[in-house]
Amino acid sequence: MAGLAAAFGSGAMTNTIADIQAADVILITGSNTSENHPVISSIIKRAIKFKGAKLIVVDPRRIKMTDHADYWLRPNLGTDTAWINGLMHVIVKENLHDQTFIENRTEGFEDFKKSLEKYTPEFVEGITGIGAKKIVSAARLFGNAKVASIVYCMGITQHTSGTDNVKALANLSMLCGYLGVPGGGVNPLRGQNNVQGACDMGGLPNVYTAYQQVADPAVARKMEKAWKVKGLSTKVGLKVTEMIPKAHAGQLKGMYIVGENPLVSDADLNHVEESLKNLDFLVVQDIFLTETAKMADVVLPSLCFAEKDGTFSNTERRVQRIRKAVDGPEQAKEDWWIASQIGTRMGFPMEYGNSEAIFEEIRRVTPSYAGLTYGRIEQTGLHWPCPTEKHPGTPILHGQQFTRGKGLFHPLEWIPPAEQADNDYPLLLTTGRVLYQYHTGTMTMKSEGLNERAPESFVEISRADADKFGVKHDQMVTIASRRGEIQVKVKVSSMAVEGTVFIPFHFAKAAANRLTNAKLDPLSGIPEFKVCAVKIKDAA
Amino acid sequence: MTKSEQATITINGNSYPFHNGNTILDVARDNQIEIPTLCHLKSATPTGACRICVVEVKGARTLLASCATPAVRDMVVQTESAKVVEARKQILQLMLSSGNHNCAVRGSDDLEWTAFQLKVQDDDASGQLCPVWGDCRLQDLAYRYQVSGERFPATPSRYPIENVNPFIVRDFSRCIQCGRCVQACNDVQVNNAINFGYRGPESKIIAATDRPLKDSDCVFCGECVQACPVGALVEKNIRYDVRPWQTEPVRTTCTYCGVGCQIYLHVRDNQVVKVTGVEDAPPNYASLCVKGRFGHDFIGSPQRLDKPLIKENGKHREASWDQALDLVADRFKSIRDSNGPDSIGVLTSARISNEENYIIQKFARAVLKTNSIDHCARL
């Protein structure tokens, strides 16, 4: 989200889910929408079928959405900034950009424009492998739209250049004036039910709720007053991807992990495992004894979403209720109750009657949530920012002006991924999810039906590569990177393109993240899950 | 146009204004006049296939399907005239006579009923009444119009039940060919997995070239199950086991991806037995995916953690909350006090509520005095 925050001043979907249907061109990139956000994929497919919207898909795999697309652009892994710059080069050259919008609403255009000069379609073809003609056609389609929506996901962000990729998409949308209007915008799809809420609530090392900076002493004073506490730190804390190396180095002594399973979800798992072992004290709070929980000194059982009241904030910033439907395991507790108890026993009283009492405190310290109440969202959730109880919520951001005032163009250069294919590791690996499983599988793998559809890990490989490396469909093979190796079944598939293989990361037994590269984007701290070099070793 | 000039139609003797593009059905529904429908699927183009929604329009030679007939200025409509009722009865009788509609609205002849029930038992390996008894649009209408299937001879079921996938049972003997599932699949989800196949009496809803769903483009979103007005498409895990009157729906938000679909958890005996999408509510308007609809087993899983655990000599043992919480508080306190606040890291979660995330970051900042708190947004 750092990329959008830099360009616009806030990092979230600019428009709503339903609003995508108002677009006449939709650009999907780095999102396997029909498997990871199926309901949104249907909205997009309806826009195509009934409203005549055109679809451009840019993805290294022949994902299902390409069946519905007017153009499928197939970039080499880790070349996103290059093709985005290529589209913009054509749009500027052919004068398809929105001069009025650029003058009134943005800054930094001239420097940015210069930075595009060298990204000719031919130059971009050399980097990305996308044909120059296709770049020109797609750029014309996008630039000539009345309004176009950009939809992206982790395929854009999980790169060492992830922040640049997002900024490039922000540039593209601003260039054409597709922001602040229905059917437009730059729309990151959130992969987990409450990622948006966890960010909004300050579950980040640099901000309190509503993205109030921890480094700002005025904010610290405000929070000290609200919480009746002294000495809040104004030092930005560690990101998860920084905590692990610090634990490895013995500088981080204790961890409190709630509802996360880094032992399957993080990059370079062998390193993560050693790091967590090195902790003096590890507490894990979860609904299952996950791989991570097995390592914990203390495990605390919590209630799941169906057993408690509260709110989630979805990918379109809509704050919605969750409600208790069943009683959970006898001794399991709400996560807020457990953390409050630890706090109270450490000498800082944290006592709340129920989730609504906590929400009322959230409203007092969170300007974008101040106007929300359980009563107002009883039937239909509202989009933040919602500053007062009279405010109707904000479905579309940046209507009159950007959160940061003017939208900022960033001149960007393409930077190659941290690892390239070579003689020792001749294939590139990219990772992701499949329709029938979810994240580390702790929930979906409890459903027999889902397991029947997606029972085990696999390596998706093109027919050409299968022949080249002498492997057959359904054969078990060992896939190795410089960091580790796993055994998986071969799936020869037309979704794969020669030179690139795909492995889903759900399966702990053959965890794709034993292979992935933990090299980080310098700004966002996101690891490069989407590109690393691998080889197929002899059949397992 | 002023208000007094606004175009109106007359339904059952009262006049109602309408907008251009409204169908007779739209105007009726807007004014709480009930016209029965079977094939009509809101948000999809009307097909007029089942004709149960026919109405009598003054000046028209035949009865018209209200779902597909646009309202026209000064039109005069009767929704329950004798002709309309007779037509609906006949449609219902035809539907009820073809296939295994063993919902005990069949009539009074005991022998005939017994023979019929035995046949159904043979087809479906169950002696129970229809699995959607009490939650069936056809049954409701048969009751409303007081008809049964006896009027026409029973026709045999042409195609066997398909239950070779883990989620959905397709019972062609209870299908009335209304086409709602076809629209749900092609026009709502746009997965294009099923369609009408064959012709006349042989007609059947088919997947691909008449293959089981599991070998087609079906992604088991279950939109068709939710759209089916009868017992032709039913969730496999609860078929014959859970009856609609045994469950209470609780509205909540799905816990999988970030779309935030609005769902009902259907609860029986403290167990979530079924999930449906909430109609008329954003962002999903009843649509769900396979995980949201069928991936709820984890809630009541016997593998759920139910007691705090403390590791001693490399092994977890069960502990009381007091023991576990005191241990955590003591250890965090001593680490914080001897190594400084930044020696502890907290990972909160993208899976838990806003309220819980708020409390956990407050704990990290106000109690541990560190900003080293993060979650897996990046992963």
B137 belongs to a structural domain: yes
CA distance A58 to A169: 12
Mean pLDDT of chain A: 95
- Higher pLDDT, residue A440 or B286: B286
For A:301-340, CB contacts with B below 8 A are 301-302, 304-308, 310-316, 318-336, 338-340
Extract the tokens encoding B324: 């576990």
For A:30-49, CB contacts with B below 8 A are 34, 36-40, 42, 45-46, 48-49
Mean pLDDT, residues B77-90 taken together: 97
Q: What are phi and psi of B161, to 5 degrees?
A: -65, 140
Closest chain A C-alpha to B178 CA, distance in angstroms: 22
- Higher pLDDT, residue A404 or A138: A138
Domains of chain A (ranges plus CATH)? 2-189 (3.40.228.10), 191-236+304-389 (3.40.50.740), 238-301 (3.40.50.740), 427-539 (2.40.40.20)
Three-state DSSP at A311 gives: strand
Instruction: Give the nearest partner residue to B253 out of A296, A312, A527, using CB atoms.
Output: A312
- Does the beta carbon of B346 lie under 8 angstroms from any beta carbon of chain A? yes
Extract the tokens encoding A228: 């009746």
* Confidence band of B76 (pLDDT split at 50, 70, 90): very high
Tell whether B116 and B102 lie within a shared domain: yes
CA distance B31 to A366: 43
Positive or negative: CA dihedral A351, A354, A355, A356: negative
Residue B250 above 70 pLDDT?
A: yes
Closest chain A C-alpha to B32 CA, distance in angstroms: 22
Burial class (CB in 10 A: 0-12, 13-18, 19+), B208: middle
Q: What is the pLDDT of residue B73?
A: 95
Q: What is the pLDDT of residue B107?
A: 65
B86 belongs to a structural domain: no
Query: From A210, which residue of chain B is nearest by alpha-carbon distance?
Result: B358
Q: What is the pLDDT of residue A475?
A: 95
CA distances from A507 to A131, A250, B296 (A): 36, 29, 19
Look at A39 and B284 and tell me if their CB atoms are within 8 Å: yes
- Does the beta carbon of B72 lie under 8 angstroms from any beta carbon of chain A? no
Reading phi first (left if > 0) and then psi (alpha if -120 to 50, else beta), residue A175 is in alpha
Query: From A245, which residue of chain B is nearest by alpha-carbon distance?
Result: B345
Three-state DSSP at A124 gives: helix
Q: What are phi and psi of B197, to 5 degrees?
A: -135, 160
Closest chain A C-alpha to B266 CA, distance in angstroms: 8
The 3 state secondary structure assigned to B202-237 is: HCEEEECCCECHHHCCCCCCCHHHHHCCCCCEEEHH
* Chain A residues touching B335 at Cβ < 8 A: 253-254, 280-281
- Domain count of chain B? 5
B122 belongs to a structural domain: yes
Q: What is the pLDDT of residue B4?
A: 53
Residue A540 above 70 pLDDT?
A: no
B311 belongs to a structural domain: yes
Tell whether B228 and B156 lie within a shared domain: yes
Q: What are phi and psi of A205, to 5 degrees?
A: -75, -10
* Chain A residues touching B282 at Cβ < 8 A: 17-18, 318, 380-381
- DSSP 8-state assignment for residue B378: G
Closest chain A C-alpha to B240 CA, distance in angstroms: 18
Look at A39 and B283 and tell me if their CB atoms are within 8 Å: yes
Q: What percent of chain B has pLDDT over 90?
A: 82
Closest CA to A300 of A286, A280, A281, A282: A286
Instruction: Give the nearest partner residue to B349 out of A198, A447, A526, using CB atoms.
Output: A198
Look at B354 and A319 and tell me if their CB atoms are within 8 Å: yes
| CATH classification at residue B25 | 3.10.20.740
Tell whether B217 and B161 lie within a shared domain: yes
B85 belongs to a structural domain: no
Residue B106 above 70 pLDDT?
A: no
Closest chain B C-alpha to A94 CA, distance in angstroms: 35
Instruction: Give the nearest partner residue to B352 out of A16, A241, A258, using CB atoms.
Output: A258
B273 belongs to a structural domain: yes
Q: What is the pLDDT of residue B1?
A: 45
Tell whether B278 and B315 lie within a shared domain: no
CA distance A343 to B367: 6
Tell whether B323 and B374 lie within a shared domain: no
Tell whether B328 and B344 lie within a shared domain: no
B87 belongs to a structural domain: no
What is this model's ipTM? 0.95
CA distance A335 to A260: 13
Tell whether B295 and B366 lie within a shared domain: no
Q: Which of B165, B192, B239, B356 to mutate to test the interface with A (most CBs of A within 10 A)?
A: B356
For B:230-269, CB contacts with A below 8 A are 236-237, 250-262, 265, 267
Q: What is the pLDDT of residue B379?
A: 53
Residue B184 above 50 pLDDT?
A: yes
Look at B347 and A192 and tell me if their CB atoms are within 8 Å: no
Q: pLDDT digit string (tens) for A72-99?
A: 999 999 999 999 999 999 999 999 999 9
Scan for tokens 């108002």, then name that residue: A22
Query: From B324, which residue of chain A is nearest by alpha-carbon distance?
Result: A298
Contact A512, A457 (CB under 8 A): yes
Q: What percent of chain A has pLDDT over 90?
A: 88
Range of the domain at B76: 6-80
Tell whether B220 and B273 lie within a shared domain: no
H or E element in which residue A313 lies: strand A310-313
Q: pLDDT digit string (tens) for B15-36?
A: 999 999 999 999 999 999 999 9
CA distance B154 to A91: 67
Mean pLDDT, residues A95-104 taken together: 97
Q: pLDDT digit string (tens) for A122-163?
A: 999 999 999 999 999 999 999 999 999 999 999 999 998 999
Closest CA to B86 of B145, B167, B27: B145
For A:483-502, CB contacts with B below 8 A are none
Indicate the residue among B220, B246, B272 that finishes a domain. Answer: B246
Tell whether B318 and B177 lie within a shared domain: no
* Confidence band of B138 (pLDDT split at 50, 70, 90): very high
Mean pLDDT, residues A457-480 taken together: 96
Residue B211 above 80 pLDDT?
A: yes
Cβ count near A52 (within 10 Å):
8
How many pairs of residues across A and B have Cβ atoms under 8 Å apart? Answer: 472
Indicate the residue among B177, B211, B246 that finishes a domain. Answer: B246
- Does the beta carbon of B298 lie under 8 angstroms from any beta carbon of chain A? yes
Residue B378 above 60 pLDDT?
A: no
Output the CA torsion B65→B66→B71→B73 (10° steps): 80
Tell whether B107 and B227 lie within a shared domain: yes
| CATH classification at residue B184 | 3.30.70.20
* Chain A residues touching B372 at Cβ < 8 A: 205, 237-238, 243, 252
Q: pLDDT digit string (tens) for A20-44?
A: 999 999 999 999 999 999 999 999 9
Mean pLDDT, residues A253-266 taken together: 90
* Helix axis angle, A121-128 to A80-93, nearest 10°: 170
Mean pLDDT of chain B: 93
Instruction: Give the nearest partner residue to B378 out of A231, A310, A526, using CB atoms.
Output: A526
Mean pLDDT, residues A160-186 taken together: 96
Mean pLDDT, residues B220-229 taken together: 97
B1 belongs to a structural domain: no
Q: What is the pLDDT of residue A521?
A: 86
Tell whether B144 and B226 lie within a shared domain: yes
Tell whether B120 and B235 lie within a shared domain: yes
Least confident span in A48-62, A289-303, B147-161: B147-161
For B:123-182, CB contacts with A below 8 A are 165-167
Up-side HSE of residue B154: CA atoms within 13 Å toward CB?
Answer: 20
| CATH classification at residue B260 | 2.20.25.90
Contact A319, B329 (CB under 8 A): no
Up-side HSE of residue A454: CA atoms within 13 Å toward CB?
Answer: 26
Q: pLDDT digit string (tens) for A309-347?
A: 999 999 999 999 999 999 999 999 999 999 999 999 999
Residue A1 above 80 pLDDT?
A: no
Extract the tokens encoding A442: 């702790």
Residue B104 above 70 pLDDT?
A: no
